[in-house]
């Protein structure tokens, strides 16, 4: 059946007759929506929305993550042929997932960007589904958290990164991808005591009360124990998961703006994400994929896999409902 489907499927981002189902369109052809889902703004009956945020004007080093959403979508064409390994269910078959396209914004009006993104996510949440966002630099998580906190109150943050992004910055109007979680804590968007940062390996004098599992701890304790610690910290509290691709070691994800040695291997990240199944995930993102610095495409491939795992995490607790 898959072979016959491959002979006739093309441009499923626009032509697929239903939202559910695996896809067998050639990886190297067609319109590259995420996992070959339908592009649509119609959210009636939708379970989960994937949306791109091609913004990179908050970076401290190399730019280029504005091209991340496009690269991640292209890399995802390798994945929709089969259910994701190890999860025991097929989210593409069992749930209505759509690609909402990218945020539209004036690239030259940077000051207007945060409210534009918050409104974008707020509109989706008001329609019912959650979001998985494809960044963009890591600042994009801050406007997204504002929309989520409006609905859920202070969130638990599960934060994979080489950097804590809690460096002090009391100017709430500054747009900086290294200070947004300091601001999120100050504004009550996240509860630091019920939040956790994984893979940290850069110095900060003040982690703002966040629980930190640094990269060395991951290497020494192992993925299974780290996943148990994460579940204990967040409990059953609504949580948002943000994955900065530089959490991975540059050997696995060189295409990013601020690479730091000593990071997680891709297999460690995959195991942790799989083993935290059951957390009350309400949304998530994968950010800082900058494809120009990776001629192999490995960074975008990792980003696409992370986003697919976030879809599984989001839908895991919703399978029976």
Say if residues 277 and 312 touch (Cβ distance below 8 Å).
Answer: yes
Q: Indicate whether 4 belongs to any domain.
A: no
Is 161 within any annotated ligand binding site?
yes
3-state class of 238 per DSSP?
coil
Comparing CA positions, the residue from 194, 257, 199 lying closest to residue 226 is 199
Comparing CA positions, the residue from 247, 249, 52, 253 lying closest to residue 136 is 52
pLDDT (0 to 100) of residue 4: 77
Q: Indicate whether 321 belongs to any domain.
A: no
Tens-place pLDDT, residues 34-71: 999 999 999 999 999 999 999 999 999 999 999 999 99
Query: What is the Cα–Cα distance from 139 to 113, expressed in whole angstroms?
Result: 11
Is 246 within any annotated ligand binding site?
yes
pLDDT tier for residue 292 given thresholds of 50, 70 and 90 = very high
Averaged pLDDT, 280-288: 98
pLDDT tier for residue 76 given thresholds of 50, 70 and 90 = very high
Q: Listing from the earlier edge strand, what are the strands of the sheet with 239-244?
A: 97-102, 48-53, 130-135, 281-287, 239-244, 156-160, 196-200, 211-214
Is 205 within any annotated ligand binding site?
no
Q: Indicate whether 98 belongs to any domain.
A: no
Query: What is the Cα–Cα distance from 274 to 264, expressed in whole angstroms?
Result: 15
Query: What is the Cα–Cα distance from 189 to 82, expressed in whole angstroms?
Result: 37
Q: Per-residue pLDDT for 320 more than 70?
A: no
Residue-range definition of the domain harbouring residue 65: 45-92+106-316
Q: Percentage of the chain with pLDDT > 70? A: 99
CB-based burial of residue 28 (10 Å sphere; 0-12 exposed, 13-18 middle, 19+ buried)?
exposed
Both tokens of residue 55?
A: 């913004």
- CATH number, domain at 165? 3.40.800.10
Q: Indicate whether 36 belongs to any domain.
A: no
Q: Indicate whether 40 belongs to any domain.
A: no
Averaged pLDDT, 214-222: 98
Tens-place pLDDT, residues 144-157: 999 999 999 999 99
Tens-place pLDDT, residues 77-136: 999 999 999 999 999 999 999 999 999 999 999 999 999 999 999 999 999 999 999 999
Comparing CA positions, the residue from 211, 208, 273, 265 lying closest to residue 241 is 273
pLDDT tier for residue 321 given thresholds of 50, 70 and 90 = low
Domains contained in the chain, number: 1
Is 99 within any annotated ligand binding site?
no
List Cα–Cα distances, 163 to 34, 80, 90, 181, 197, in angstroms.
27, 32, 33, 11, 9
Q: Indicate whether 207 belongs to any domain.
A: yes
Q: Which residue has the higher pLDDT, 85 or 3?
A: 85
Q: Indicate whether 312 belongs to any domain.
A: yes
Q: Indicate whether 99 belongs to any domain.
A: no
Is 203 within any annotated ligand binding site?
no
Q: Per-residue pLDDT for 7 more than 90?
A: no
Query: What is the Cα–Cα distance from 211 to 263, expressed in whole angstroms?
Result: 18
pLDDT (0 to 100) of residue 3: 72
Backbone angles phi, psi at 10, to 5 degrees: -155, 145
């Amino acid at each position: 059946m898959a072979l016959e489907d491959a002979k006739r499927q093309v441009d499923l981002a626009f032509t697929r007759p239903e939202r559910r189902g695996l896809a067998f369109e050639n990886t190297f052809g067609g319109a590259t929506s995420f996992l070959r889902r339908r592009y649509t703004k119609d959210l009636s009956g939708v379970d989960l929305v994937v949306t791109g945020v091609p913004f990179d004007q908050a970076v401290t080093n190399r730019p280029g993550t504005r091209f991340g959403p496009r690269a991640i979508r292209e890399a995802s064409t390798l994945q929709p042929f089969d259910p994701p390994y190890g999860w025991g269910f097929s989210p593409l078959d069992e749930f209505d997932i759509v690609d909402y396209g990218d945020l539209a914004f004036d690239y030259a009006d940077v000051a207007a960007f945060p409210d534009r993104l918050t409104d974008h996510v707020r509109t989706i949440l008001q329609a019912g589904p959650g979001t998985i966002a494809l960044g963009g630099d890591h600042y994009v998580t801050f406007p997204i958290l504002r929309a989520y906190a409006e609905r859920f109150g202070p969130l638990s943050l599960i934060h994979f990164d080489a950097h804590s992004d809690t460096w002090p910055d009391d100017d709430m109007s500054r747009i900086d991808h290294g200070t947004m979680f300091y601001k999120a804590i100050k504004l009550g968007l996240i509860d630091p005591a019920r939040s956790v940062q994984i893979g940290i390996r850069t110095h900060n004098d003040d982690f703002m009360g966040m629980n930190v599992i640094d990269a060395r701890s991951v290497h020494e304790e192992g993925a299974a124990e780290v996943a148990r610690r994460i579940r204990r910290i967040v409990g059953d509290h609504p949580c948002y998961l943000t994955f900065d691709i530089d959490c991975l070691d540059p050997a696995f994800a060189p295409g990013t703006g601020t690479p730091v040695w000593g990071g997680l291997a891709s297999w460690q990240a995959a195991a942790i994400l799989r083993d935290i199944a059951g957390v009350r995930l309400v949304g998530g993102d994968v950010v800082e994929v900058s494809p120009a610095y990776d001629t192999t495409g490995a960074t975008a491939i990792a980003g696409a896999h992370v986003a697919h795992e976030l879809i599984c995490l989001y839908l895991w607790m919703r399978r029976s409902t």
